[in-house]
Amino acid sequence: NAGVMQNPRHLVRRRGQEARLRCSPMKGHSHVYWYRQLPEEGLKFMVYLQKENIIDESGMPKERFSAEFPKEGPSILRIQQVVRGDSAAYFCASSLGPNTGELFFGEGSRLTVL
């Protein structure tokens, strides 16, 4: 399957722990986007990365959240000291380039904070 792969699909954390969500883009794609979906809401843009660079992080909370897309390996969204309000579905999408009009989504990672 050459689609966007996210893992884990489900993650449970206790308050104060760290959550790491991984995203492997489609083969050949070097642009990755992270979105968050709270219950009963639409997806909200968080961050846009290209290999080794953060292009736009205007949707990222200022504290506890970080993202990276290293030269080798998947993109990682990291949430430190999780709180209950971080419980959501986190979607990754990838594209071949900027403004191509083609964005492919993974199946999402559902984070539950107890």
Partner 1 sequence: AQTVTQSQPEMSVQEAETVTLSCTYDTSESDYYLFWYKQPPSRQMILVIRQEAYKQQNATENRFSVNFQKAAKSFSLKISDSQLGDAAMYFCAPNNAGNMLTFGGGTRLMVKP
Q: Which residues bind partner 1 (CB under 8 A)?
A: 31, 33, 35, 41-45, 48, 55-56, 89, 91, 93, 95, 98-103, 105, 107-108, 110
Nearest-approach distance from CB 24 to partner 1, in angstroms: 16
Instruction: Rank residues 18 and 56 by Cβ distance to partner 1 and give the closer one.
Output: 56
Q: How many residues does the chain have?
A: 114
Separation CA 30–CA 71 (nearest Å)? 10
Separation CA 94–CA 68 (nearest Å)? 14
Instruction: Rank residues 10 and 78 by Cβ distance to partner 1 and give the closer one.
Output: 10
- Single out the residue of 51, 23, 20 nearest to residue 107, CA to CA: 23
Instruction: Rank residues 15 and 44 by Cβ distance to partner 1 and give the closer one.
Output: 44
Nearest-approach distance from CB 20 to partner 1, in angstroms: 20
Separation CA 23–CA 7 (nearest Å)? 7
Separation CA 108–CA 90 (nearest Å)? 5
Nearest-approach distance from CB 107 to partner 1, in angstroms: 5
